[in-house]
Amino acid sequence: MVPYHSHSSLKQYMPQKPIKIGFKVWVRADSTNGYISQFQVYTRKETSSTEKGLGSLVVKDLTATIQHSNHHVYCDNFSQVFSYSLTFYLLEYMHVAP
């Protein structure tokens, strides 16, 4: 969460988080230095995708540019419930060992 208290339609309220009001942002970062290489701001858009679960969509979007490369993908508990399609996607495109 990025803190923000002014007016915006993208602002979220999450009472369980330390930062309760702000923008919800997903980030792909380098684990060695913490530099952000890609991010996504949650916009509440409805998607026409058949994919179930926001976590699966976010993981696929953030890993789309690093397919077939030697990267390790770590996810927090937001995407802990992997769908079958996300599992097969990671196995096929990210060379994850089962």
Q: Which alpha helices (DSSP H) does 1-98 contain, by range?
A: 54-63, 84-93
Q: What is the pLDDT of residues 25-69, one digit of tens each?
A: 888 888 889 899 999 888 877 665 555 677 778 888 888 888 777
What is this structure's pTM?
A: 0.67
Residue 21 has pLDDT above 90, yes or no: yes
pLDDT for the residue 58 = 82
Say if residues 14 and 1 touch (Cβ distance below 8 Å).
yes
Residue 84 has pLDDT above 90, yes or no: no
How many Cα neighbours within 13 Å face the side chain of 84?
Answer: 1
pLDDT for the residue 36 = 92
Mean pLDDT, rounded, of the chain:
79
CA-to-CA distance for 98 and 87, rounded, in angstroms?
Answer: 9
